Structure 1
């Protein structure tokens, strides 16, 4: 997406790196200081990409599958952002993983909603 489309670009590479650190091949559940960082990173990135995906989706015709998928991904991500951390030793790590899944879905939706590159 470009500024010409009225939809700002996002740093997908950084967001995908965050996702990979949490749920990619060989990813280990975060602990200690890493846990704080790997919970705040996807949270902040989700907050950045939500309005972009939502704006792109709302530009499409109502009932269009890509529009609906984008808006559902936004709704689910907002739900993950507002969820309370489960009590217990793995609660915060579980939240970080859930945020990573939501971020991954938003990145996928962002890519599917952007207009095709000019030939």
Structure 2
């Protein structure tokens, strides 16, 4: 996988661009909705990349918001655990079979949903 040489946005730059929670949740529904049709190989690749991007954008936001809370606050601990799980899932490689690739994308989708929940619970709009 290619490595990006662009720098991550600063806190000030992130404050100017609100997260697209609706868009992120719509991406996850494509994989997690009851009775959803399995995506084609091309769709799956696009969805997986999109979900990875959602995680890359959301983690710093949730991390910053959780960091404003006391360390002994339950919301802080839960958000940090979610961030750790999302980062771990980002490091994993999908399997080589379509079912394994779908399962990988579904795990990413669950992380996106959880990060969106934390973002909203921590006061994000």
After TM superposition, is the score higher than 0.5? yes
- TM-score bracket relative to the smaller structure: 0.7 to 0.9
Q: How does 1:1-119 map to 2 (within 5 A)?
A: 9-114=18-123
Deviation string, structure 1 residues 6-47 (Cα, Å, up to 9, x no partner): 696211010010011110233223222111111111111110
CA contact (8 A) 1:7 1:56 kept: no
Could you list the runs of 5+ residues in structure 1 that have no partner in the other structure? none
Q: TM-score, normalization: structure 1?
A: 0.85
**Equivalent residue of 2:98, what SS?**
coil
Could you list the runs of 5+ residues in structure 2 that have no partner in the other structure? 1-11
Alignment length, in residue pairs?
A: 112
**Equivalent residue of 1:9, what SS?**
coil
CA distance in 1, matches of 2:51, 2:98: 20
**Equivalent residue of 2:78, what SS?**
helix
CA distance in 1, matches of 2:93, 2:85: 14
CA contact (8 A) 1:31 1:93 kept: no
CA distance in 2, matches of 1:21, 1:27: 7
Q: TM-score, normalization: structure 2?
A: 0.81
- Change in Cα spacing, 1:35 to 1:95, as seen in structure 2 (3 Å) is same
Deviation string, structure 1 residues 39-89 (Cα, Å, up to 9, x no partner): 111111110000000100011001100011111110000011001222433
Let me know the Cα RMSD of the aligned residues: 1.9
